[in-house]
Structure 1
Amino acid sequence: MPKSILHITEKINKESGGLRTVITNLNDYLNSATGFDSSIITFAMEDHDAFQLFDVSKPGAWLYSKSFKNYLNQLDTSNTILHLHGVWMYQQYISSKTAVKKNIPYLLSSHGMLEKYLLQQGRLKKTLYCKYILKDILKNANYLHAITPIESESLFRLSGGNKNIVEIPNLIHYSSIPQEVTYNPNEEYILYLGRFHSVKGLDILLEAYEKIDNKKIQLLLIGPHSELKESLENRIIEKGMQHKVFFKDFVSGIEKFNVFKNAKVFVAPSYSEVIGMVNLEAAACKVPVISTYNTGLHPNWNTSGGILIKPQLDALVSALNNAVNWDTTERIARGNQLADFVLQNYSWEKKGVLWEQLYNTL
């Protein structure tokens, strides 16, 4: 009888960014493996998604759902495992409480939500929540899943010493990247693709771009509309840089891979992240990637074609100056080297078995 894995997350729509990719990839992988029946339970998804959707009874900050509570109370516990994604919502609270009551094994992935930078946002509320609610959720979990060593330390501390912490990095389906798309050295631009959020370091990216030596290379910024994006667009207009800095809302399919592969370098100077999926995707497209130590990427990224820096202006200016001066041979060699590094260390093809091993211990 296959193990029934229920992935529980408050939202898995496009607004959830890389979290959507992480959870759906895990769900797909398990359903293709032997011995698992995996499904996703959520409270916000896209119209075309075929997940199990529950209504929110009170659309407040905590997303209370009476129908979801009733569902858990009636759940068949035989061979069932709950996998909680996230930490702050009613969904994790009631799932943990029900799992303890009905003796259902559960594991929790915090997905970087407990990193120091993010805990400082709304600090008082989060401190109280950690002390009176979250600590028990973490303590009672059969396993806590960490994406990086830094996250492992945070989970151990906030759980009051739960030692059942398993570290598995975010993974990418390497074989899904089209290999026929190749770098066009006639295209010269620095690329950012992702959410426009303050945590992404876009403030220092724009400032660093203004300071680099090469005044001809363009900057392409791609991501959904937000207040921050609108603010950055206005800033570019005020500085008269519309001919050098370009914005796009969305790219997909082969267009997305072309945008990646033709970039001179991909840049994600995040202040806090847990191995952002876009870093892996860009690297798998054989693009050198500049990111930060704060993202949890392995330090060998620095010696495998990519560049890791502290999220500071001077460091980013130096890294960009280095990257834009690569000739075509070095740029291609770095991209190939980084792609192989991602295949070996961050791909489902090489590391997906770690998830099978984890679930099979429950």
Structure 2
Amino acid sequence: MRLSKAQCATSGDIVSVVGLNHPDWPKEASKWVGGTPYLFDVIGPRSLGYAPNMLSGIEALNPDIVHLHGLWMHSGRSVLQWAKKTRKPYVVSVHGMLSDVALSYGRQKKRFVLQWFQKEVLERAAAIHVTSSAEADEVFKFGLNNPLIQIPNGVEQLYLSVNQTSTKDKVVLSLGRFHKKKGLSLLLKAWQPLEKEFPDWSLLLVGPDQDGEVNRLKGLSSELGLSKVRFHGQVWDKQKIDIMASASIFALPSLSENFAITVAESLMLGVPVVCSKGAPWQGLDEHKCGKWVDIGPEPMEHGLRELMCLSPEKLQDMGQRGREWMIQDYSWDSIALAMRSEYQSVLEKSVS
């Protein structure tokens, strides 16, 4: 949504967003601020996303180029069929879905979809969009040699109230869905010695549950004897921003992430970050706004300890450096302009 909004604002191009209809859309439609949406009904399991009218819908829009987001859904086949009919190009954003961790889930479905259409969708793409060099390596490892477009995701420029900039709780926050690949069990193990060393600090885990992961983590927390760990369900909009802005440190212990938007959002809110090398945020060290650590409990423990030992003033300085970095390199307008330039290059090559 944010990308299409910025594309409309910066280019003057007509941007249409094609997607799958959902029962919640009528109550969410008023929040949509991107390009004009066109939704198509799904037949069968939503996990496949078979929308038989999508192909004719794309044809009716008659786009010059299509940007396909994500893999393993029937929408990819619709785009492939459109491209074959029209001989027009499309770009694919893989969104971390070719990492070893991502490929390890739903293997049966992915083997079926790969042979049915996904392999051809990827191989015929005029270019593949990645957000980092790590994601580019995943594309090559998968056996693809398409031209690559490397542009990071953008982050909305969030504005802080006076209260948000002056009031910080001694809280380490991790926010995102509760899933095994998020590495939250590693974070709990890292927290065990820190909880004893820093009794005035607490750890807050926020997000929607998936496959009973919350109960598993609560059980682990009890086994480790932790008393300063809180769990909170999914949050949205202002509540999400308030929770993120009030934390002193953001922690991301993930095993695999193609980008991790919560890191960018935390930095935009002036919160320093300790992030595992499962996500491509080596710039945390370069910009002196956090720590980029190896995956595992001990590296996460050391990274958190280093920040937790700092004064509130020094943590605020780190957060401010992170915010300045985000505004400079990750604004949606700059991302949209960079993407448009790549679209133009793809279009020029397609007619040469």
Bucket of the pairwise TM-score, normalised by the shorter protein: 0.7 to 0.9
Aligned to 2:10: 33
Aligned to 2:285: 302
- TM-score of the pair, normalised by structure 1: 0.84
Alignment equivalent of 2:217, drawn from 232, 235, 240: 232
Say whether residues 1:201 and 2:183 are aligned partners. yes
Q: Counterparts of 2:42 and 2:109 in 1: how far apart (Å)?
A: 22
Deviations 1:134-167 (A, max 9, x none): 33211211221111112223324535421x2110
Alignment equivalent of 2:301, drawn from 317, 320, 324: 317
| Residue-pair matches, total | 333
- Structure 1 stretch displaced more, 211-220 or 286-295: 211-220
Aligned to 1:188: 170
Alignment equivalent of 1:62, drawn from 48, 51, 55: 48
Aligned to 2:57: 71
How far did 1:210 drift? 1.3
2:7–2:333 Cα contact (<8 Å) kept: no
Structure 2 unmatched runs, 5+: 348-352
Q: Supply the AA of the counterpart residue of 2:213.
A: L
**Residues 65 and 186 of structure 1: is their aligned pair in 2 closer, same or farther, counting only changes over 3 Å?**
closer
Q: Counterparts of 1:124 and 1:36 in 2: how far apart (Å)?
A: 40
Q: Supply the AA of the counterpart residue of 2:127.
A: Y
SS of the equivalent of 1:178 reads: coil
Say whether residues 1:87 and 2:64 are aligned partners. no
Q: Supply the AA of the counterpart residue of 2:179.
A: H
How far did 1:323 drift? 1.7
SS of the equivalent of 1:191 reads: strand
Q: Supply the AA of the counterpart residue of 2:188.
A: L
1:143–1:166 Cα contact (<8 Å) kept: yes
1:147–1:170 Cα contact (<8 Å) kept: yes
Q: Counterparts of 2:97 and 2:121 in 1: how far apart (Å)?
A: 14
- TM-score of the pair, normalised by structure 2: 0.86
Alignment equivalent of 2:153, drawn from 160, 170, 173: 170
Deviations 1:189-238 (A, max 9, x none): 11111111111111111111112222331111111233112332344456
Say whether residues 1:290 and 2:270 are aligned partners. no
1:138–1:155 Cα contact (<8 Å) kept: no
Say whether residues 1:148 and 2:128 are aligned partners. no
Aligned to 2:19: 42
Q: Counterparts of 2:209 and 2:118 in 1: how far apart (Å)?
A: 32
Q: Supply the AA of the counterpart residue of 1:68.
A: M
Say whether residues 1:97 and 2:81 are aligned partners. yes
Aligned to 2:350: none
Aligned to 1:5: none
**Residues 58 and 185 of structure 1: is their aligned pair in 2 closer, same or farther, counting only changes over 3 Å?**
closer
Identity %: 25
Tell me how large the CA RMSD over aligned residues is: 2.4
SS of the equivalent of 2:208 reads: coil
Aligned to 1:335: 319
Deviations 1:310-356 (A, max 9, x none): 11111011112112111112111111111112222222244432012
1:285–1:339 Cα contact (<8 Å) kept: yes
2:129–2:148 Cα contact (<8 Å) kept: yes
- Structure 1 stretch displaced more, 267-276 or 224-233: 224-233
Aligned to 1:7: none
Say whether residues 1:258 and 2:242 are aligned partners. yes
2:131–2:258 Cα contact (<8 Å) kept: yes
1:93–1:137 Cα contact (<8 Å) kept: yes
Q: Counterparts of 1:52 and 1:159 in 2: how far apart (Å)?
A: 33
1:112–1:273 Cα contact (<8 Å) kept: yes
Q: Counterparts of 2:223 and 2:290 in 1: how far apart (Å)?
A: 33
**Residues 254 and 300 of structure 1: is their aligned pair in 2 closer, same or farther, counting only changes over 3 Å?**
same
Q: Counterparts of 1:127 and 1:186 in 2: how far apart (Å)?
A: 47
SS of the equivalent of 1:36 reads: coil
Q: Counterparts of 1:290 and 1:62 in 2: how far apart (Å)?
A: 35
**Residues 255 and 180 of structure 1: is their aligned pair in 2 closer, same or farther, counting only changes over 3 Å?**
farther
Deviations 1:14-40 (A, max 9, x none): xxxxxxxxxx11111111123311122
Q: Supply the AA of the counterpart residue of 2:156.
A: H
1:184–1:262 Cα contact (<8 Å) kept: no
